[in-house]
């Protein structure tokens, strides 16, 4: 299976690009592919080496007369099953493309539904793992945008169909960090939480999706304990809104909620 990162506009139209920025973008794309391939093979999220190489990713030479980086993915075992599920579907080009499409487009602010049943089921049944994969891929895709407006105007990712397109608008989205001034309070469910990094995801019932968060340095020390208890309650289905948070939103350039910063938390007493 083959994926192409096609660099277009500005210097790319002269079949060249600034070396450092272009190299950073290629590394970012390659890392995002690698994180996704590891999850597709194992069903788990891993942020550092070693990665499972049963779905191996290789670079091929750039095509003459164009500025395209070609990634070649090879399934090393014909019996390999998607997401490590023994009775699952086999790993195919269309399946890998679907996972990449969902990850990349959601990372740059688009609502993208899975087209394959296997990816859809993974998102439904392993929502925590999929959210963790999204969070892991985002820094790589920030790096992938390095060359945008630095010698290249856009990068098209192409698999067995169009996957995603990165440009000035998506760069603004993925790098946006406009912290809203006003504080809000809301009851949420804690869907994921990394105690060491003080980051995770909470489910916003009004938005119908999880939103990434980080704990502010100013937050009281017990905030971590409350959020950890909230995650345990969510995992054990002990109520749908077990945690009350005080927070500020991080907004995208068009005013959507990208993430939040939590300044305090308390338990919700369910009658």
pLDDT for residue 141: 97
Question: Over the stretch 34-78, which tens digit does the pLDDT of each residue have?
Answer: 999 999 999 999 999 999 999 999 999 887 667 999 999 999 988
**CB within 8 Å of 60: residues ≥ 6 apart:** 2, 70, 71, 72
Indicate the residue among 113, 148, 174 that finishes a domain: 174
Question: Over the stretch 232-258, which tens digit does the pLDDT of each residue have?
Answer: 887 776 555 579 999 999 998 888 889
Do 27 and 148 belong to one domain?
A: yes
pLDDT for residue 248: 97
Query: What is the helix (H) or strand (E) element at residue 82, kind and residue range?
Result: none
CB 5 within 8 A of CB 155: yes
Determine the Cα–Cα distance for residues 24 and 179; give it in Å rounded to an integer.
Answer: 27
Do 141 and 186 belong to one domain?
A: no
Q: What is the pTM of this model?
A: 0.84
Do 216 and 109 belong to one domain?
A: no
- Work out how many domains the chain is built from and give that number: 2
Do 103 and 220 belong to one domain?
A: no
pLDDT for residue 78: 81
Q: Which of 32-36, 88-92, 213-217, 242-246 is the least confident region? A: 88-92
Do 88 and 108 belong to one domain?
A: yes
Question: Over the stretch 17-36, which tens digit does the pLDDT of each residue have?
Answer: 999 999 999 999 999 999 99
Indicate the residue among 124, 154, 174 that finishes a domain: 174
Residue 98 belongs to domain spanning: 2-174
């Amino acid at each position: 299976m083959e994926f192409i990162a096609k660099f277009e506009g500005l210097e790319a139209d002269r079949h060249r690009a600034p070396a450092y920025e272009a190299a950073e973008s290629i590394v970012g794309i390659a890392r995002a592919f690698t994180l996704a391939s590891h999850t597709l093979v194992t069903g788990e999220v891993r942020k550092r080496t070693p990665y499972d190489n049963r779905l191996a990713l290789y670079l091929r030479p750039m095509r003459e007369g164009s500025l395209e980086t070609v990634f070649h993915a090879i399934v090393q075992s014909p019996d390999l099953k998607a997401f490590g599920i023994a009775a699952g579907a086999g790993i195919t080009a269309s399946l890998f493309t679907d996972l990449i499409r969902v990850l990349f487009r959601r990372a740059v602010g688009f609502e993208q539904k899975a087209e394959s049943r296997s990816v859809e089921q993974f998102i439904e049944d392993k929502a925590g793992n999929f959210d963790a994969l999204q969070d892991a891929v985002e820094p790589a895709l920030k790096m992938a945008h390095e060359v945008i407006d630095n010698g290249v105007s856009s990068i098209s990712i192409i698999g067995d169909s169009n996957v995603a397109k990165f440009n000035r608008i998506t760069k603004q989205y993925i790098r946006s960090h406009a912290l809203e001034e006003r504080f809000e309070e809301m009851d949420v469910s804690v869907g994921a939480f990394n105690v060491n990094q003080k980051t995770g995801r909470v489910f916003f019932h009004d938005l119908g999706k999880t939103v990434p968060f980080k704990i502010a340095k100013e937050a009281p020390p017990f905030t971590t304990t409350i959020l950890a208890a909230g995650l345990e309650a969510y995992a054990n289905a002990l109520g749908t809104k077990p945690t009350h948070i005080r927070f500020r939103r991080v907004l995208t350039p068009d005013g959507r909620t990208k993430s939040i910063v939590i300044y305090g938390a308390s338990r919700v007493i369910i009658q």
